[in-house]
Structure 1
Amino acid sequence: MLERFLDAFRLTSGTPSGPATGVTGLDDLLEAYGGCTFEDGLYRIHTRASADEFDRLVGAAFPNYRSRLGCFGFDWLGRQFSIDRSRGVESDPGVSMFEPGTGEVFEVPGRFTEFHDVELVEHVDEDLVTAYFTDWTAENTKPIPFDKCVGYRTPLFLGGLDDGTNVDLTDTSVYWHLMGRLRLEAIRVGLGGRISKIDLGPHD
């Protein structure tokens, strides 16, 4: 399931615990490649612990998807890739991408078994915004740590600018917690409404 992906993406951090040929599903992927970073942070595969954490964080930010989630990977912008149990079949579900900075979710073409070897290999520029990543790494030369991402200071759904003046390296968990709360509050107050305060306590 990862043969073409591993030919196209450099493993820059982490140690696989098993061969790519043994990866046939979500659990296999997390077991064999959990904690691995590719291309200095461009794309990463969740550990079992971080997958469980982001199932909760993504589910809190996007409640309608909570029962459908199974996060397995994330990119340098903190965007989460998850199986979508409502699409495909049980043994090979669809994949969705959740964007914290825009508050949007996108259905990725194909199914989970095709995601790494087909989608990421053949559409890497679109899926992982590699041109923007190249610009970022030209000025920020250190690899992005596993628990960090480049996030918006002001999310786009609250009028933030989509450029380099509005992004910074941040803790991915904290970023998702904050963006999730802001997204729900923005939905509650509606277009043109004013967010006066948000509760940053633990999610339910």
Structure 2
Amino acid sequence: MLTVSFPRLQASIRPANADAVEDGLAETFPLLPRYPEPARQRLGSFLTTFSGGTLHDGAYAVLDGTTTQALTETCLEFFPAFRGHLVVFGRDWLGSLYAADFSRDVNGWPTVLALNIDFRDAMDTRLALTDFHETALVDDAAAILNLDLYRSWLESHPPLRDAGRAVGYRIPLALGGEDSLSNMEESDLDVYWQLTGQIGQSR
């Protein structure tokens, strides 16, 4: 396995239980072998190193192998244009997914897409995976992760330490729900994406 260095991320991330991180790229992240080198191996090394870890008290999390597989498949149901060159690797506390886009790279690293199911939005950050974690999530985390709102959420809720869970709308925006904390609850991330995506497709 190629070893990659993320010193600023390493200094900030809250590691997952080591027992939850498996060895073996193909077994742990079965989506990866279909993608080209060196970007494939670099993403694999990143996931193996940081799988399940969280930043900013749970506002951001790197997914584990099982969740990566499930959320990539779910994401592609609602963003089919990215099929064949996308692997989801992270989530934020509001349920946005972050994915490696293998259709483009920066110095051998895949770039990062941010995908939101509530607004059906896919944003190209134009950042390599390294720059996203070493610069954006360290220097600009307050804006990217909406940390002020997250601190308000934490006043009456525990931190989101489970990478497979996030905060979503109790009544979806597509059904007239308010965009406010009073209309939000913690939920399983994959279930939330599927239900919200299906509601959006039916309207």
TM-score range, shorter chain: 0.7 to 0.9
**Structure 2 unaligned regions, length at least 5:** 24-40
Cα separation, partners in 2 of 1:182 and 1:68, compared to 1, 3 Å = farther
d(CA) in 2 for partners of 1:161, 1:99: 17
Residue type of the partner of 1:3?
P
Query: Which residue of 2 is the match for residue 74 of structure 1?
Result: 91
Residue type of the partner of 1:99?
N
SS of residue in 1 equivalent to 2:171: coil
d(CA) in 2 for partners of 1:46, 1:91: 22
Alignment of 1:47-58 (within 5 A): 47-58=64-75
Query: Which residue of 1 is the match for residue 76 of structure 2?
Result: 59
Whether the 8 Å contact between 2:85 and 2:101 is mirrored in structure 1 is: yes
d(CA) in 2 for partners of 1:36, 1:54: 17
Match of 2:158 among 120, 135, 141: 141
Alignment of 1:1-204 (within 5 A): 1-7=5-11, 9-11=12-14, 13-15=16-18, 25-88=42-105, 91-186=108-203
Cα separation, partners in 2 of 1:120 and 1:154, compared to 1, 3 Å = same
Deviation at 1:132, TM superposition (A): 0.8
Query: Which residue of 2 is the match for residue 195 of structure 1?
Result: none
Cα separation, partners in 2 of 1:174 and 1:17, compared to 1, 3 Å = closer
Deviation at 1:157, TM superposition (A): 4.2
Whether the 8 Å contact between 1:12 and 1:38 is mirrored in structure 2 is: no
Residue type of the partner of 1:11?
R
d(CA) in 2 for partners of 1:159, 1:128: 24
1:6-45 Cα shifts (integer Å, max 9, x gaps): 33x3416433789xxxxx7210011122122333321111
Whether the 8 Å contact between 2:98 and 2:114 is mirrored in structure 1 is: yes
- Calculate percent identity across the aligned residue pairs: 27
Deviation at 1:98, TM superposition (A): 0.8
Query: RMSD of the TM alignment (CA)?
Result: 2.3
Cα separation, partners in 2 of 1:112 and 1:144, compared to 1, 3 Å = closer
What is the TM-score when the length of structure 1 is the normalising length? 0.78
SS of residue in 2 equivalent to 1:70: strand
What is the TM-score when the length of structure 2 is the normalising length? 0.79
Whether the 8 Å contact between 1:25 and 1:113 is mirrored in structure 2 is: no
Whether the 8 Å contact between 2:89 and 2:98 is mirrored in structure 1 is: yes
Aligned residues: 180
